[in-house]
Amino acid sequence: MKKYDVIVIGGGAGGLTVAAGAASLGAKVALIEKNSELGGDCLHYGCVPSKAFITAAKEVHETFKSAKKFGLKVEGTAPLEHAMNRVKEAISIIQEHDSKERFKQLGIDLFEGKGYLKTTTQVQINKEKTIEGKRIVLATGSRPNIPPIDGLLEAGFLTNETLFEVKKAPKRLLVIGGGPIGLEMAQSFARFGSEVTIMEGNSTIFSKEDEEIVPIVLTELQKEMTFRFNVSIKKVEKKENEKIVTFEQNGKIEELIFDEILLSAGRKPNTDGLGLEEVGVTLKHGYAVVNEYLQTNVPTIYAVGDVNGQFQFTHAAGMEGKVVVRNAVFGIKGKVKYDHVPWVTYTDPEVFHLGLTEREAKETHGDNIRVFKVDVKNVDRFVSDRDAVGLLKVITNEKGTILGAHAVGKNAGDWMQEITFAKAQGHKIGDISNVIHPYPTHGAIIQQAADQYWREKLFNGWVPKVAETYIKWFR
């Protein structure tokens, strides 16, 4: 039986980070991946294809929008198939970074197949070959959740794993679930000509975002698609090429007809069939329960990425992978921290999230917080771009330490990176005021928030009185 220092099950973002990091530091590593290619959900069904699709849809949208602004006429419908070909090209190019050859060159032994834990240190591959490792890292990701709606399976539907195979935009598209992925894809299909309806069980979207951010992005999205809130879908019936959806909204039963359905009703962890419960690993709602060191209750087994249910983002999985390399390979206890991990929803406008919302900050720190807001209408670059829809909001404690930062606006995920750095490095909001920002840039919005901090600090309280006395004496 071949023995390893680390066995990684799953070749997505978290698993590849662990495998490459451990191998680079001299560990003997085995990597097991069930698919023929590495890269996981992010590369093949998630981040990469969705952003390629979003960009194509945005280009189409801007073409019609710009033509109208300048009195030009654009006719026709953009071919969805062309966008999907661009999606495949993007995957192909990025696949080279996650090629099997690259990881083999690092000295990693690759196994194609499904892993099953026979013991806390032994993994069986495809029920044939068994290998042994001092440490095992679960990085098996997640898959779309299929809600138990009567007739749904028979009627058929799309998920993020199948939607990029669509050749023609459906005339009437229903999106079940108003989560980030569903909203991104809904808007993109709308821009390719689909009449999109989103049905959401809650009373609004973006439940994890700051309350002042949500109305702004919702108003913009409602210009391109229809929302139905507080909805419970009862059944789906297929008749010829149409799908009849029966649902209840606010106590009223209704029916609507669609040509296609896209599911965006959450994710399920890929822990079934791994043998985790048999070897004593604790699961909660299917997720591997981990401690602050990303270690399960079985000391030899760790879990990173979607499978642990902590922070289901690709960049978070990569961060977790680095923590596990430190803990599993060297045994140097390093805790995982999500305080400085941002996320972005790539709708148009984009929504950026970092740290605590205002409500969360008040629950934690009481009234001892400060809130600084800047509307993009007050930032020259947004005005000159003729795209002045959005808001920046920064929450700090009384001393200016950044507790949270939130934004909605065009390309917010890009111009908010400065504050991500500031928070991670322990800089206070006031420090950004001393950074010279080229004029005019979108990032100047953060400097304006920082200037607010100093205006409040300098022009309120005792400082103005002391300054006034000093100036009189100096004269």
User: Side-chain half-sphere of 331: how many Cα atoms within 13 Å?
Assistant: 5
Is 90 exceeded by the pLDDT of residue 221?
yes
pLDDT tens, residue by residue, 241-296 = 999 999 999 999 999 999 999 999 999 999 999 999 999 999 999 999 999 999 99
What is the distance between the alpha carbons of residues 353 and 407, in angstroms, rounded to a whole number? 7
pLDDT tens, residue by residue, 38-70 = 988 788 888 899 999 999 999 999 999 999 989
pLDDT tens, residue by residue, 379-400 = 999 999 998 899 999 999 999 9
Q: Over the chain, what is the mean pLDDT?
A: 93
Q: Which of 209, 160, 214, 218 is nearest to 189 (CA)?
A: 160
Give mean pLDDT, residues 430-459: 91
Residue 354: CB atoms within 10 A of its CB come to 25
Give mean pLDDT, residues 163-178: 96
pLDDT, residue 95, reads 87
DSSP states of 325-346 as a string?
IIIIIH--------TT--EEE-
Give mean pLDDT, residues 204-212: 95
Is residue 287 within 8 Å of residue 299, measured between CB atoms?
no
Give mean pLDDT, residues 340-344: 96
First to last CA, the chain: 88
What is the distance between the alpha carbons of residues 269 and 57, in angstroms, rounded to a whole number? 30
* Consecutive H or E run containing 90: helix 80-95
Q: pLDDT tier at 459 (50, 70, 90 boundaries)?
A: low
- Strands of 402-409's sheet, edge to edge? 343-345, 350-355, 402-409, 391-397, 369-375
* Consecutive H or E run containing 173: strand 172-176
Residue 424: CB atoms within 10 A of its CB come to 15
Which of 473 and 342 is assigned the larger pLDDT? 342
* Consecutive H or E run containing 137: strand 129-138
Query: Would you give the distance in Å from CA 353 to the centre of its chain?
Result: 10
Is 90 exceeded by the pLDDT of residue 196?
yes
pLDDT, residue 468, reads 60
Does CATH number 3.50.50.60 belong to domain 152-266?
yes
Is 80 exceeded by the pLDDT of residue 463?
no
Q: Which of 36, 50, 62, 31 is nearest to 133 (CA)?
A: 31
Global pTM? 0.93
What is the distance between the alpha carbons of residues 340 and 395, in angstroms, rounded to a whole number? 14
Is 70 exceeded by the pLDDT of residue 465?
no
Is residue 334 within 8 Å of residue 327, measured between CB atoms?
yes
% of the chain at pLDDT higher than 70: 96
Residue 417: CB atoms within 10 A of its CB come to 15
The stretches of 28-179 forming alpha helices (DSSP H) are 40-44, 47-69, 80-95, 100-105, 152-155
Is 60 exceeded by the pLDDT of residue 462?
no
Domains 3-143+268-330 and 152-266 share a fold: yes
Question: Where do the DSSP E strands lie in 200-318?
Answer: 226-228, 231-239, 242-249, 252-258, 260-263, 267-269, 283-284, 287-288, 301-303
CATH pick for 349-459 out of 3.30.390.30, 3.40.50.10140, 3.30.1340.30, 3.40.50.280: 3.30.390.30
Is 80 exceeded by the pLDDT of residue 473?
no
pLDDT, residue 471, reads 62
Is 90 exceeded by the pLDDT of residue 217?
yes
Q: Which of 368, 374, 372, 381 is nearest to 442 (CA)?
A: 381
Is 80 exceeded by the pLDDT of residue 37?
yes
Q: pLDDT tier at 230 (50, 70, 90 boundaries)?
A: very high
Domain map of the chain by residue range?
3-143+268-330, 152-266, 349-459
pLDDT, residue 163, reads 94
pLDDT, residue 396, reads 97
363 to 340, 367, 400: CA distances (angstroms) = 19, 9, 18
Q: Which CATH superfamily is domain 3-143+268-330 in?
A: FAD/NAD(P)-binding domain (3.50.50.60)
Query: What tokens does 14 get?
Result: 């978290």
Give mean pLDDT, residues 120-143: 95
Q: Residue 440: is the preceding peptide bond cis (ω within 30°)?
A: yes
pLDDT, residue 457, reads 75
Task: Give the chain's length.
Answer: 475
pLDDT, residue 377, reads 96
Is 80 exceeded by the pLDDT of residue 472?
no
What is the distance between the alpha carbons of residues 74 and 68, in angstroms, rounded to a whole number? 8
Give mean pLDDT, residues 139-154: 96
